[in-house]
């Protein structure tokens, strides 16, 4: 049963969860701010989905904070294709709830970010704001880049200018064999992205992105690249050359195979077999 939240926002079912009673007033607030019909409907739908997720996660209304919004975006990216405005929509919702004093203001954290955390924060903002990448891509890239920085600098100060091609190669050679081929390709894409970002900032003089090796991703790696000469001879011997089709197949396999030391020159054999095949077909 459809539920009318606002004249520009109709949901497929009534809202559920701790924010259900506030979604209609959120929609009115968006309308008063001049948001168009499509944007308003999208933000209301995400607000309803977020409220349902809060209820499923056992999160009360007074506990809601920005971390929950980020966690939900990560969860949502696994279920549906993320859209560029998803994060902004949840930000508008959180701001609205704070203005209405439905939830408490964000507490000021006394935690001092490490050098790695500061570097990662700046990189993630670059991906979202400057590159406009989807939240799913950001979520996929960030862990690999963090691991790379921790591998190169440990818990010390991040000095990107000290990075060299050897650091990149060592990291990829160490971690790629442990990963699924698709994950390994995501890792190398993340490293290239971060190193281009470092070049964009002027932190490195060389194009270190070019030093990231290509990780092969064979779709069927168990298939052998070629068969042995003995296997080739066995395959040829299995063909019935008494028929025209058999002589044709034999000639095709000879063309595909390699010249054997015990066989006549391939070109002469093929020519003879093809002639026999033509005679047989007549």
3 state SS for the chain: CCEEEECCEEECCCCCCCCHHHHHHHHHHHHHCCCCHHHHHHHHHHHHHHHHHHHHHCCCHHHCCHHHHHHHHHHHHHHCCCCCCHHHHHHHHHHHHHHCCCCCCCCCCCCCCCHHHHHHHHHHHHHHHHCCCCHHHHHHHHHHHHHHHHHHHCCCCCCHHHCCHHHHHHHHHHHHHHCCHHHHHHHHHHHHHHHHHHHHHCCCCCCHHHHCCCCCCCCCCCCCCCCCHHHHHHHHHCCCCCCHHHHHHHHHHHHHCCCCCCCCCHHHHHHHHHHHHHHHHC
Question: Is 104 contained in some domain?
Answer: no
Q: Which residue has the higher pLDDT, 18 or 277?
A: 18
Position 281 pLDDT exceeds 50? no
Q: Looking at residue 282, what is its pLDDT?
A: 46
| CA pair distance 236, 238, nearest whole angstrom | 5
pLDDT at 6: 65
Q: Are 119 and 48 part of one and the same domain?
A: no
Q: 15: pLDDT confidence band, cut at 50, 70 and 90? A: confident
23 and 95 in a single domain? The answer is: yes
Question: Domain ends where: 99, 130, 161?
Answer: 99
> Which has the minimum average pLDDT: 54-68, 143-157, 256-270?
256-270
- Do 203 and 131 have their domain in common? yes
Examine residue 105 and state whether it is found in any structural domain, yes or no. Answer: no
Decide which of 258 and 163 is more confident: 163
pLDDT at residue 101, as a whole number = 85
Q: What is the mean pLDDT of residues 236-246?
A: 88
CA dihedral 141, 143, 144, 145 (to 10 degrees): 80
Q: Is residue 106 part of a domain?
A: no
Query: What pLDDT, on a 0 to 100 scale, did the predictor assign at position 225?
Result: 58
Q: Are 259 and 232 in contact (CB under 8 A)?
A: no
Location of structure tokens 């900032």: 201
Please indicate, yes or no, if residue 26 is contained in any of the structural domains.
Answer: yes
Mean pLDDT of 169-188: 91
Q: Report whether pLDDT(112) > 90.
A: no
Higher confidence at residue 272 or residue 114?
114
Mean pLDDT for 228-241 is 82
Q: Which residues pair with 3 in a beta bridge?
A: 11
Asked whether residue 216 is assigned to any structural domain, the reply reads no
pLDDT of residue 275: 53
In a domain, 108, yes or no: no
pLDDT tens column, 146-161:
999 999 998 888 888 8
Q: Using the predicted structure, report yes or no on whether residue 260 has a pLDDT greater than 70.
A: no
Tell me if 224 is assigned to some domain. Answer: no
Domain count, the chain: 3
Considering the domain architecture, whether residues 142 and 189 belong to the same structural domain is answered as yes
Distance CA 15, CA 118 (A): 38
**pLDDT value, residue 273:** 47
Asked if 197 contacts 126 with a C-beta cutoff of 8 angstroms, the reply is: yes
User: Are both 129 and 202 inside the same structural domain?
Assistant: yes
Residues 151 and 191 both lie in one domain: yes
Give the confidence band of 228 by pLDDT, cuts at 50, 70, 90.
confident
Residue 94: inside a domain: yes
Q: How far, in Å, CA of 118 to CA of 129, rounded? A: 16
Domain extent for 274:
229-281
Q: What is the mean pLDDT of the chain?
A: 80
Q: Are residues 145 and 190 in the same domain?
A: yes
What is the rounded average pLDDT of the residues 37-47? Answer: 85
């Amino acid at each position: 049963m459809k539920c009318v939240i606002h004249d520009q926002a109709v949901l497929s079912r009534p809202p559920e969860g701790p924010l259900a009673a506030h979604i209609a007033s959120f929609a009115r607030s968006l309308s008063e701010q001049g948001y168009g019909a499509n944007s308003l409907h999208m933000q209301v739908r995400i607000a309803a989905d977020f409220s349902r997720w809060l209820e499923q996660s056992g999160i009360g209304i007074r506990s809601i904070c920005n971390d929950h919004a980020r966690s939900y975006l990560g969860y949502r990216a696994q279920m549906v294709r993320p859209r560029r405005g998803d994060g902004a929509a949840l930000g508008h919702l959180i701001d609205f709830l704070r203005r209405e004093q439905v939830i408490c203001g964000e507490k000021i954290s006394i935690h001092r970010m490490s050098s790695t955390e500061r570097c990662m924060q700046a990189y993630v903002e670059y991906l979202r704001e400057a590159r406009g990448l989807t939240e799913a891509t950001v979520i996929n890239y960030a862990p690999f880049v963090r691991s790379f920085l921790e591998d190169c600098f440990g818990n010390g100060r991040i000095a990107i200018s000290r990075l060299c091609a050897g650091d990149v190669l060592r990291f990829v050679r160490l971690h790629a064999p442990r990963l699924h081929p698709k994950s390994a390709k995501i890792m190398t894409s993340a490293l290239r992205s971060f190193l281009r970002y470092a070049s964009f900032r002027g932190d490195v003089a060389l194009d270190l992105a070019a030093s990231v090796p290509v990780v092969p991703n064979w779709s069927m790696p168990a298939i052998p690249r070629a068969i042995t000469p003995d296997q080739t001879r066995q395959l040829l011997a299995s063909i019935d050359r008494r028929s025209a089709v058999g002589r044709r197949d034999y000639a095709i396999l000879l063309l595909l195979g390699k010249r054997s030391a015990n066989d006549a020159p391939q070109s002469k054999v093929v020519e003879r077999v093809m002639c026999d095949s033509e005679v047989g077909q007549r």
